[in-house]
Amino acid sequence: MISTKKYALAGIFLLLTGTFFFSACSTKKNTWTRRTYHNLTAHYNVYWNGMDLMRQGIKDYDAQMKDNFSLVLPVYNFGDKSGNKAAQFADNAIKKASKTIQKHSMFFNHKEYCKWIDDSYMLIGISYFYKKDYPMARRTFEFVIKTYNDNDIKYDAMYWLAMSNIQIGDYNRGEPMLDMLLNKINKGEAPSKYEEGANLAYANSFILQRNYDAAVPYLNRALELNPSVKIKTRIYFILGQIYQKQDDPDRAAEMYTRVLKHSTAYEMEFNAKINLAQCYTSKSTDRDFIVKKLTKMLKDEKNKDYLDQVYYALAQISLTDKDTVHAIDYLGKSVSTSKSNNYQRAISALQLADIYFSYPNYPRAQAYYDSTMQFLPVDFANYKAIKKKTATLTDLVQQLQLISREDSLQALAAMTEEQRTKVIDRLIAVYLANEVKKTQEEQTKLQNQMFANQEEKTNTTSSQGRWYFYNAATMASGFSAFGKKWGRRRLEDNWFLTDKAVVMNTGETPVDTAQLMPNGGSDTTVSKKPEPKSTNPKDRKYYNQDIPLTPAKLSASNQRVMDAYYKSGFIYFDGLND
């Protein structure tokens, strides 16, 4: 009997509960039960999931962002416009927030009674911001400001509206909005918690406009508000970069030293060390200490991908000491060791080009300017001027090379046939030697790869830890790999050469042999049906075919030299002011 009563009471309770929630599901009437239900459900069911997606998404998004430490860092790195790494988590957050609004909004008499609706609109706006759909983000934040004018959330919307305008470069709208927000904070009308963000947004705006001096007061004010360690460390680094640009190495060094005390990110710590070294002045007494630190960094395996930056820092120290010889050496190593940091490669090549240009050594300067232009971003300062100088030097070097080549060909023409043959045979020998060297390097690379693979296999068991040639399995594997690369070869000297007819000679010649490679140009005196040009660098005909051995060919060669001198004169005068 008692059991029957319990079940009856439980049934009545469930019925009443179901009736309560069923009646509470509707948003048509403004009752306490419905407000309670929709506030509870909106918060812990839909909106909470959307915010969780947003928090995790932003965390992953920030982890993917890569800073260019060669430039003054922005306060916030949202990536470039081409990237859209936030699309998935932002779309999901928009769906959750939209569902919250559609199912739980209770708007009566110009007032919203579900307190998570305004937050949902903010979630939508921030999601559009991370998707880089700034027009939609702006419209959403403007709606929040207008609709929820009596709620503190409008100040949050003002901040994000300013950020959206700044990201699209509409500074004339972004900065006044920040002025309004800071003014309300100063008057006590807006909560002080928004002051840090407003100052950082203002600083970010000036940095994006490259007005670095104007950003400094806002960065310092943000530091006074005691931000998180991560933000504080980034501010220190940015201030160090700005002071460095202001030629204030002491203050810059102080900022970088603070970065080293707080940073937990290896890349920022590394770049702080590099920039700290660049703050060295000839008046400093710690030169040896700095060089020792940088040299130690060169040996650290963790820095193998950053050697170009270390060499660049060493070059700056040498330039400060007016040691151009070592500076050129370090900059050359910076260019050659740069693997993935194209910006650093461009900067190092540019500085090297400028040094050679100042000598002047125009051919070398042109080579490094040309390398610079391959990697220099179009928004780099003086990009157009550098591009113009590169084009001018390229035109000049082409004329100088033509002159040198024609002079060398004429020198060959003036020799006896025996002397000329010796020079050409020497060129062929050099070509073959380079071919052998290249082949050997490829062979060594293949062998190293094969041995590395074998070492990985032999490390799995102790029984396989014997010398390579004692292991029949690895010998067979190596033989197979060799056959795929080289085919069947007889055991003899120079087995790796296809053409073993290497001509050795010891004759001396004043000719610039580096200029003797044919340029493919046609001679004005050739017959109507010229013989096909030789394209084999191992054939004497390849070198003989352009030598001006007849009066007509010699006259044409002289004319090309005169034209080149004439053009060079104009380039020196008009293009280089030399």
**DSSP character string of 329-358:** HHHHHHHHH-SS-HHHHHHHHHHHHHHHHH
pLDDT higher than 60, residue 25:
no
Confidence of residue 442 (pLDDT cuts 50, 70, 90): confident
Structure tokens that stand for 385 in this block: 């001027």
- Alpha-carbon span 569 to 506, nearest angstrom: 38
Model pTM? 0.61
Would you place residue 231 in the very low, low, confident or very high pLDDT band (cuts 50, 70, 90)? very high
285-381 folds as: 1.25.40
Contact (Cβ atoms closer than 8 angstroms) between residue 275 and residue 249: no
pLDDT above 50: residue 15:
no
- pLDDT score of 9 more than 60: no
Dihedral, CA atoms, 490, 491, 495, 500, nearest 10 degrees? -80
Q: What is the pLDDT of residue 44?
A: 47
Query: Of 72-86, 98-112, 271-285, 350-364, which gets the smallest average pLDDT?
Result: 98-112
Reading the block at residue 520, the tokens are: 């493919």
pLDDT band at 304 (very low <50, low <70, confident <90, very high): confident
pLDDT at 293: 81
C-alpha 345/C-alpha 336 separation (Å) is 8
Range with the largest mean pLDDT of 28-37, 329-338, 533-542: 329-338
pLDDT band at 47 (very low <50, low <70, confident <90, very high): low
- All structural domains of the chain with their residue ranges: 26-132, 135-214, 228-279, 285-381, 399-439+513-578
Mean pLDDT for the stretch of residues 37-58: 60
Rounded to an integer, the average pLDDT of 340-365 is: 92
Q: Which residue has the higher pLDDT, 511 or 450?
A: 450
Query: Which long-range contacts link 317-325 to residues 24+ away (Cβ below 8 Å)?
Result: 317/277, 317/278, 317/280, 317/287, 317/290, 317/291, 320/280, 320/281, 320/282, 321/282, 321/287, 324/355
With cut-offs at 50, 70 and 90, classify the pLDDT of residue 508. Answer: very low
Are 301 and 327 spatial neighbours (Cβ–Cβ below 8 Å)? no
Q: What is the DSSP letter of 72?
A: P
Instruction: At 111, give phi and psi (nearest 5°).
Output: -140, 140
| pLDDT band with cut points at 50, 70 and 90 for residue 380 | confident
Assign 194 a pLDDT band (cuts: 50, 70, 90).
very high
